[in-house]
């Protein structure tokens, strides 16, 4: 029997797609100008390859990624420059993050019937307690447990530890919890590997190339579908 619904944050409860696109474009422009290159496509090929490598090992530090890009071209960053860019990056993401229209209604309804919790990855900031969830107290209030994986010695998803820790705090077994997220590798595979029941959110308002996978997993396109959770699990 399902006793808890646990959520990812970005692109699950809030839409940050425009913020990330804008922030990424600015970061690429900063690096390209810093390196003094002339062929942008060659630079973007290198940048995207390195970014994919960081993502695959669940390292979301922009600072570290940009440093790796500069080192690839044998360029040392100026003191404080990457920190400044990173601050600007997150300010852009925050300013362009909006709550999905149905999020609050769904969280309120689910919290009447289930334990509701959050497991989200840190985005690589050095300071703890800086995750974007803190900007949305109207959402925070619904969660009995909030785990920011990647902080305080907790490994990032898809490692099973943040899922295990959340379940421990909820005093529930893995089979009693559903995990809702948008990233197949990090959220769906991570939750399934930890024994939870995954639900893959491919939100109908998000423009994105979703990966094609062979494994069957329940898919929803709007959070309101969770109100009929009995029909999913």
- Predicted TM-score (pTM) of this structure: 0.88
- Contact between 43 and 49 under an 8 Å Cβ cutoff? The reply is no
Are residues 30 and 10 both part of a single domain?
no
Are residues 106 and 117 both part of a single domain?
yes
Quote the pLDDT of residue 184.
Answer: 95
Which of residues 60, 95, 130 is at a domain's end?
Answer: 95
Are residues 55 and 110 both part of a single domain?
no
Are residues 140 and 222 both part of a single domain?
yes
Instruction: Enumerate residue ranges in the chain where pLDDT < 70.
Output: 123-131
Are residues 42 and 154 both part of a single domain?
no
Quote the pLDDT of residue 197.
Answer: 98
Quote the pLDDT of residue 151.
Answer: 86
Which of residues 95, 121, 138 is at a domain's end?
Answer: 95
Quote the pLDDT of residue 228.
Answer: 95
Are residues 64 and 126 both part of a single domain?
no
Are residues 114 and 203 both part of a single domain?
yes
Matching residue, tokens 């080192």: 71
Burial of residue 206 (number of CB atoms within 10 Å: 0-12, 13-18, 19+):
middle
Are residues 137 and 162 both part of a single domain?
yes
Quote the pLDDT of residue 92.
Answer: 93
Domain with residue 9: its CATH number is 3.40.50.1000
Are residues 106 and 195 both part of a single domain?
yes
- Contact between 172 and 191 under an 8 Å Cβ cutoff? The reply is no
User: Residue 200 and residue 181: Cα distance in Å, rounded?
Assistant: 6
Are residues 86 and 114 both part of a single domain?
no
Quote the pLDDT of residue 150.
Answer: 86
Task: Report CA-CA distances (Å) from 117 to 34, 45, 105.
Answer: 42, 38, 15
Tens-digit pLDDT profile for residues 139-172: 999 999 999 998 888 999 999 999 999 999 999 9
Give the structural domain span for 62. 18-95
Which of residues 95, 110, 142 is at a domain's end?
Answer: 95
For the chain, how many structural domains are there in total?
2
Which residues, in sequence order, are bridge partners of residue 14?
10, 99
Are residues 111 and 226 both part of a single domain?
yes
Quote the pLDDT of residue 24.
Answer: 96
Are residues 132 and 72 both part of a single domain?
no
Quote the pLDDT of residue 134.
Answer: 81
Which residues, in sequence order, are bridge partners of residue 140?
none
């Amino acid at each position: 029997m399902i006793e808890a619904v646990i959520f990812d944050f970005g692109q699950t409860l809030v839409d940050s797609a425009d913020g990330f696109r804008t922030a990424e474009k600015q970061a690429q422009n900063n690096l390209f100008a810093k390196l003094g290159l002339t062929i942008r496509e060659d630079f973007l090929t290198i940048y995207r390859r390195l970014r994919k490598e960081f993502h695959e090992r669940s390292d979301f530090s922009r600072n570290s990624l940009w440093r790796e890009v500069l080192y690839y071209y044998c360029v040392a960053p100026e003191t404080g420059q990457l920190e400044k860019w990173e601050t600007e990056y997150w300010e852009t993401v925050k300013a362009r993050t909006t709550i999905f229209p149905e999020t609050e209604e769904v969280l309120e309804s689910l919290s009447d019937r289930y334990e509701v919790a959050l497991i989200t990855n840190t985005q690589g900031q050095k300071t703890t307690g800086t995750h974007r969830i803190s900007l949305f107290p109207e959402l925070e209030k619904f969660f009995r447990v909030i785990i920011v994986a990647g902080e305080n010695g907790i490994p990032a998803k898809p490692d099973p530890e943040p899922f295990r820790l959340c379940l421990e705090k909820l005093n529930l077994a893995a089979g009693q919890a559903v995990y809702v997220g948008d990233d197949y590798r990090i959220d769906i595979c991570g939750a399934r590997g930890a024994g939870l029941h995954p639900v893959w959110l491919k939100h109908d308002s998000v423009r994105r190339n979703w990966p094609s996978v062979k494994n069957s997993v329940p898919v929803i396109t709007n959070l309101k579908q969770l109100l009929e959770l009995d029909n999913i699990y």
